[in-house]
């Protein structure tokens, strides 16, 4: 039996990248995984198939975040498949690399709608569905505590707000034995970072130099940290911001 056998998890933005890595890892550990996606249904089906081919159980939920009523629709879809949740991973997020003086209000609002408002209401509406002893894991960023990439200032602000949500939720949900933590990746090799990492001659080397370990992170590097927090081994860790940048902040 896996560490999460009998548990049900919801992972947002789980069709690709870090989210897919988390969904697959939780599935391998025995959890039944709700694979949320925004627009890429085919990729979500591939994630579900990968979990099932490894002996796990999963189902897909398609709702675009950052739109009115998004959290309500996610939970309505979830409720069609399950009657409660043990692990909520708020992973879905968008970024925007743009000089400070060029950031437009519409773009700013979109970032906060997806990266902050959606996780807030997924947690608020999901609180009654979360079983006692459950887990909430918010995927933050090392940029919430570093000015390493100032052109990502608006994105970094959203992750700082998510970290505040983490701390306060840990107090609000703690009496029920529910832990709430943030996991902060550094540069991870995904579709979202492909242009930076592979679109230039020295992108990979530049990104690897950020880390004390001298390499670029992988989705599995983050997923393993989330799996620890989701398991019983992480029962005494809550309200914590966990640096998973490979030493990029040292």
Q: Which residues are catalytic?
A: 140-141, 155, 159
- Per the DSSP assignment, residues forming a β-bridge with 243 are 184
Q: Are 98 and 105 in contact (CB under 8 A)?
A: no
Sheet holding 57-62, edge to edge: 57-62, 32-37, 8-11, 85-90, 130-139, 179-185, 241-244
Overall residue count recorded for the chain in this entry: 250
Query: Rounded CA gap, 230 and 8, in Å?
Result: 11
Query: Rounded CA gap, 44 and 177, in Å?
Result: 31
- Per the DSSP assignment, residues forming a β-bridge with 2 are none
First to last CA, the chain: 38
Write the CB contacts of 48 (distance below 8 Å, at least 6 apart in sequence). 35, 58, 59, 60
Q: Are 16 and 8 in contact (CB under 8 A)?
A: no
Reported in sequence order, the residue ranges of the chain that DSSP labels E, i.e. its strands, are: 8-11, 32-37, 57-62, 85-90, 130-139, 179-185, 241-244
The DSSP letter of residue 217 is B
């Amino acid at each position: 039996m896996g560490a999460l056998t009998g548990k049900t998890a919801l992972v947002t933005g789980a069709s690709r990248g870090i989210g897919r890595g988390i969904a697959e890892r939780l599935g391998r550990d025995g959890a039944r995984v709700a694979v949320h996606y925004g627009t890429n249904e085919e990729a979500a089906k591939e994630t579900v198939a990968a979990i099932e081919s490894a002996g796990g159980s999963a189902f897909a939920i398609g709702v675009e975040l950052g739109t009115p009523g998004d959290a309500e629709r996610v939970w309505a879809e979830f409720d069609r498949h399950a009657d409660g949740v043990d692990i909520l991973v708020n992973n879905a997020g968008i970024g925007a690399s743009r000089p400070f003086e060029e950031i437009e209000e519409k773009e700013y609002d979109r970032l906060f709608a997806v990266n902050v408002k959606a996780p807030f209401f997924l947690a608020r509406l999901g609180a009654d569905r979360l079983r006692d002893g459950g887990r909430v894991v918010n995927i933050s960023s090392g940029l919430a505590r570093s000015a390493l990439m100032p052109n990502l200032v608006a994105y970094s602000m959203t992750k700082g707000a998510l970290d505040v949500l983490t701390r306060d939720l840990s107090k609000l949900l703690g009496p029920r034995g529910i832990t709430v933590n943030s996991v902060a990746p550094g540069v991870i090799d995904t579709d979202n970072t492909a242009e930076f990492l592979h679109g230039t001659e020295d992108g990979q080397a530049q990104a690897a130099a950020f880390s004390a370990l001298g390499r670029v992170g992988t989705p599995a590097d983050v997923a393993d940290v989330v799996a620890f927090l989701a398991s019983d081994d992480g029962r005494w860790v809550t309200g914590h911001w966990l640096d998973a940048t490979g030493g990029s902040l040292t």
